[in-house]
Amino acid sequence: MRLHQLQVRAFGPYPRQESVDFDALGADGLFLLHGDTGAGKTTLLDAVAFALFGTVPGARGEAKRLRCDYAEPEVSTEVRLEFTVQGHRLLVVRSPEYERAKRGGAGTTTQRAKASLTWLGSPPSGHAPDGLARIDEVNRTVARLLGMTAEQFFQVVLLPQGDFARFLRAETAERERLLEKLFGTQRFAEVEQWFRTARTERGRVVEDIRLQVRELLARVAQAAGEELPGGEQAADLDWLATLHARLSGAVVDAEKEDRLAKEDRARADTELAYRRELAERIRRVTAALGTLAELDNQAAARAAVAEELSAARRCQPVLSANTAVTAAETELGTACRAERAARDQLTGLLPAELDAEVARLRDLAGALREEAGGLRRLVAEAELQHTDLPRLDELAARELRAGQLVDRLTARLADLPQRLTAANAHRDAAMSAAGRVDGLRGQVADLRALCADAARLPAAQQAAASTSVELSAAVDAHQQARDVLLTARQRRLDGMAAELAGALTSEQPCPVCGSQSHPVPAVAALESVGDAEERTAATAEQAAHADRERATLAKADAQHGLDGLVERLAGRAAEQLADELAAADAELGRLSELAATAQASTELVHELEAEADDLRGRRGTAERDTAAIAAERTSLAGVVAERAERLTAARGEYPDVAARRQHLLTQFAGLDKLAQARSARQEVEERLGRLRTALVDAAADAGFRDPAEALLAARTATVVEGLDQQLVDADRREAAARAVLAEPELVGVRIDAEVDVPGAELLVESSRERAELANAVLVAGQRRVAEVTELAAKLTKAWQRLRPAEARYAELVALTDVVNGRGQNNHQMSLRSYVLAARLEEVADSATRRLRRMSQGRFSFVHSAAGGPRGTRGGLGLDVLDDYSGRVRPAKTLSGGESFLASLALALGLADVVAAETGGALLDTLFIDEGFGTLDADTLDLVMDTLDELRTGGRVVGLVSHVEELRQRIPVRLRVRRARTGSTLQVVSAMAA
């Protein structure tokens, strides 16, 4: 894969569109990306990752804040990346999800993420030439062409040195997590999990069978009523057979006892039935004879009851006639009182009219009703007159109020034009001020920032001068220390022969020529230097070099800060900037106050315009209402006057027509009521005479001398029913007793014979208890045999299933332990760890080739499969072999520069292995982020040689660093400049720098 061009807009710290031409930057195969801390160097690498995968590495991707905070609201966030992969050139455009201001109204809305892919040449087979516009389709296509996931890309192309330094020093668990992401060993983890799940499920099945066996054993013992002999382990098929035979024999004995008990019970039941029957016959004969004797003694009393009952029944017609007479007398009294009440309620009539016959009363009432009916229509007109008179007054008042409203609305309309003109003028001025406030506010902010820069300028000039002096002194000190080191090394080389001669012994070969004779061994000169003096000089030179590097960085930072201040001030003095700021602040305050009234002014104009429209509409409505009210009042006045004349003639001497009509209706109702009451009284008197004659006749017909005698013989229905029931009961008892004595089985029964029924009952109870006990024993034994037989069959099947299940489970447990790094696994490594260990060994071999070159053959990576402390699993150990000492040392003991070399070699080796593992596209573009500041000049030379090897074959390598020496070594650079309004990009050359 080769990158060609990158464009970012409103992304990270870049508020406007910035472009990176990787073809121009990578023409020499190596370029430097540098700039201030926090300017946005790493953001460019994030933009490449986001364009390809829609995400960025590490914590920055978790934050999901990709939009530039300095960008204008109308500028959309977008990343465009043009690159070539597997022979196809394509353009990917992405926009992240972010909050933007609503285009209409206040507040914000969510801008959805977007992605598109355009083929800049012929597309791969199976792809449409129009490209892709869905995020998921773009993600799948890019991942398939690159042949790696986003996590692999971040580690293979964007080499983060800090991450690999942590990987180098990490514990086994942390290193395992990173390798899993890179090499996709999830399928091996799934195999391990499959075995663990299968073991758990198979163990659950075995345990279920074991539990079933235990439950069946317990149920068999419970059903048989016995304890397990020697526990569950001693129970077997022989025990089941013996148990079944013993239970079957007990059932045979129980069947014999049950048969004998049933025979004894049958004999006892027969004897008891015979004795009970004989005792019942004696009891019935005795009872019948007693009943007949009692009835003979009550014969006279029964005759008197019969006579009383006959008289009570004969007087019933007399009682009915007497009831009718009494009711008629009561009704007559009521009718007389009603007639007197009706006569007393009538007033204004003559006594002759009140005492007239019924027909005359009804004629008088009819005449009054007809007269009242003629007044009904005039009563309705009188009620309408009472409503219309107040209505006339109300219409007059409404006419007056409507005219006054027309006058008020006309006066208000005359004042509005002047107020509307003034409001429009103020609104225009406020809106003009509002349009200028934002620009002036930005100008004030820039002036404040420039005033602060002007205040910092003297200190920056002093710091630049001071760091220049410190750098000059540090350069001189480093040069002197380097001269001392070179002199010491030269002197040691000159005295190396004497040093070797000092170690010679007789008859031992010389390490240089191999001779065992040493005729003229060299002698050390006075100015010779040993190893200790050389190491002391080297340490001093390294310290002086570090001081020089720090002074160089301090000088560059101070000069960069001073250049930035001078550039931003552009020759303006602090006093001039203060005056400009004061004027701008005053103007901003005036315009802000005026702009704050824009909304209120606009609302006032709208209110005045709406008020004018409302007043004109209301005045027209009021004028129409006035005319309508006047017309209605005139019409109603004529109708009221004409109706008043008719009502005055009709009421006569009464207050109004309704009072006169009500008087007539009252007199009519009273006469009609009196006629009805008088007619009802006359009818009751006639009926009462007829009923009294019928009462006398009824008494004679019933055989009584007069009605009084008949009334004395009367009895209530309850008494009559009781007398009749006494006679019926006596007759029934006599018939029943004689019927009993006539029964054939009772003829000849002696009532003085004795029968022993209780003795027979005791014998029956004893035989019943024996039979029930024998039957219960038999049923329990049969049920126990059946239940044991059924459970024994189930237990036998469970035993047959348990043995092979336990064997298969034991085999699976052993295999699962091996796959998961336990049991018979000698390395104590899981399958996944074993695969990762193999990959790590490949990474260590690839990284060792580069590390030995960069460390001049001193360091090599050593992969270890040994387990860690406290039972930690092995397989992912990574140490360093130090050729100087010949010992393997932990990576944690490396110095800062050595750690950088090791982590860089590890990153490059890992990139090679991951690329080969994924089978992905050839990676022609790499980025290496930071870490060069820890290297001395000689080591930096070796690292640069390694990077030169990386760019062979057309590969492009981009270094991200702020180390000053790299700017002088790498001619093509991409500089990121930081400002208050955001960052910008600039391509510079070594001469421009």
Going from the C-alpha of 661 to that of each of 243, 368, 369, 472, 703, the distances in angstroms are 117, 10, 9, 135, 65
d(CA 832, CA 813): 18
pLDDT at position 992 is: 44
For the ranges 611-625, 637-651, 937-951, the maximum mean pLDDT occurs at 611-625
Q: What is the mean pLDDT of residues 795-821?
A: 82
Nearest to 31 by CA among 926, 903, 854: 926
Predicted local distance difference test score (pLDDT) of residue 930? 55
Averaged pLDDT for residues 576-586: 85
Is 50:56 a contact under the CB 8 Å cutoff?
Answer: yes
Average pLDDT, the chain: 79
Q: Measuring CA to CA, how many Å separate 828 from each of 419, 822, 833, 876?
A: 95, 5, 10, 12
Residue 564 has pLDDT above 80, yes or no: no
The two beta strands, 956-960 and 925-929, are parallel
Cα–Cα distance measured from residue 419 to residue 415, given in angstroms and rounded to the nearest whole number? 7
State both tokens at 325.
């007479």
Strand arrangement, sheet containing 925-929:
158-160, 925-929, 956-960, 30-35, 972-977, 984-989
Residue with structure tokens 């007087």? 315
Across the range 343-354, mean pLDDT stands at: 71
For the stretch 170-191, pLDDT in tens is: 666 666 766 766 666 677 777 8
- Whether the per-residue pLDDT at 88 is higher than 70: the answer is yes
619 close to 413: Cβ distance less than 8 angstroms: yes
CA 422 and chain centroid, separation: 57
| 774-786 pLDDT, tens digit each | 888 888 888 888 8
Residue 985 has pLDDT above 70, yes or no: yes
Residue range 509-517: mean pLDDT, rounded? 64
Per-residue pLDDT band at 513 (split at 50, 70, 90): low
Classified as helix, coil or strand, 704 is coil
For residue 301, pLDDT over 60 is answered with yes
Structure tokens at 318: 């007399």
For the ranges 194-203, 483-492, 662-671, the maximum mean pLDDT occurs at 194-203
**Quick one: pLDDT band at residue 969, thresholds 50, 70, 90?**
confident
Side chain identity at residue 348, one-letter code = G
User: Residue 873 has what pLDDT?
Assistant: 59
Total Cβ atoms within 10 A of residue 673: 19
Region of 703 (left: φ > 0; alpha: ψ -120 to 50; beta: rest) is left
The confidence score (pLDDT) of residue 892 equals 79
Residue 79, pLDDT above cutoff 90: yes
Asked if the model's pLDDT at residue 920 lies above 50, the reply is: no
Say yes or no to pLDDT of 719 above 50.
Answer: yes
Q: What are phi and psi of 936, to 5 degrees?
A: -85, 175
| 816 pLDDT more than 60 | yes
C-alpha to C-alpha distance for 135 and 113, rounded to whole angstroms = 8
Tell if the pTM clears 0.85, that is, is over it.
no
Of 985, 990, 926, which is closest to residue 35 (Cα–Cα)? 985
Lowest mean pLDDT among 23-32, 221-230, 277-286: 221-230
